[in-house]
Amino acid sequence: MEPYGKTPRLGGNKRVGVFATRSPNRPNPIGLSLVKFHGVIQRDGKLFLSLSNIDLVDGTPIIDIKPYLPYADANPDAQAGFAQTAPDSPLAIHFSEQSLSQLAELPAEYQTLQQFIIEVLQQDPRPAYKKSKVDTKVYAMHLSDFNIKWQCELDAIHVLSIEGV
C-alpha cells in the first residue's frame, strides 16, 4: 500500500500518494535522475520509454516519473511540458536575533545556510489554503542538518530558530 502525504503546492489539505508528488520522502531509498525523454516505443506488445542522459545500469526498472520544472530543477537547457513558471513572487525573509546568533555560531562549512533558507522559504512551503489567510502557526522543517522554525506574517516570513539535528 502506497504511503500518503500532503503537499503544499496541491493545497496542503488533500492527501495524495507519495509517488504522485516530487517529494523525496519515500518509503525506500530510490535514486532520482534527471533524464531526457524522447518518447514511447511499442515493441512486441510492450511499451518502452526512450530516454537519454540516464545514470542507470541497463535493465534497472524506472518506477516513478515526474515532470521537469524549470524553476526547481537544475538544467538550463531542458524543456518543460507544463509548469513553466515559478510560484508567485517570493516573500521577504527576516531572521530573528536568535536565528542570526545561531547562524553566527555555525562552522564555516555552513556559510551558505542562510541563503539556502531564504531560497527555500521564498517559495512559501505552507499549504496553499493558508496563503491567503492570517496565519499565526509556527512551522518547522528539516533542512540540511538543521530544524528551522519559522512563522508567516502578512507578506513576510520570520525565521525564529535554527537548531542542529
165 residues of the chain, pLDDT tens digit each = 567 766 666 666 677 776 666 666 666 666 777 788 888 999 999 988 888 888 877 777 787 777 777 766 767 677 666 566 666 667 899 999 999 999 999 999 999 999 999 989 988 888 877 877 778 899 999 988 999 999 998 788 999 999 987
Task: Give pLDDT, residue 35.
Answer: 82
Task: Give pLDDT, residue 129.
Answer: 78
Task: Give pLDDT, residue 59.
Answer: 75
Task: Give pLDDT, residue 26.
Answer: 60
Task: Give pLDDT, residue 161.
Answer: 96
HEC sequence for the chain = CCCEEECHHHCCCCEEEHHHCCCCCCCCCCCCCCCEEEEEEEECCEEEEEEECCCCCCCCCCCCCCCCCCCCCCCCCCCCCCCCCCCCCCCEEEECHHHHHHHHCCCHHHCCHHHHHHHHHCCCCCCHHHCCCCCCCEEEEEECCEEEEEEEECCEEEEEEEEEC
Rounded to an integer, what distance in angstroms lies between the CA atom of residue 5 and that of residue 19?
10
Task: Indicate the pTM of the whole model.
Answer: 0.55
The letter for the amino acid at 136 is T
- Is 79 within 8 Å of 65 (Cβ atoms)? no
CA 58 to chain centre: 29
Task: Give pLDDT, residue 127.
Answer: 80
> Which cell numbers in the block locate residue 143?
533542512
Q: Kindly report the CA angle at 104 between 103 and 110, in degrees rounded to 5? A: 60
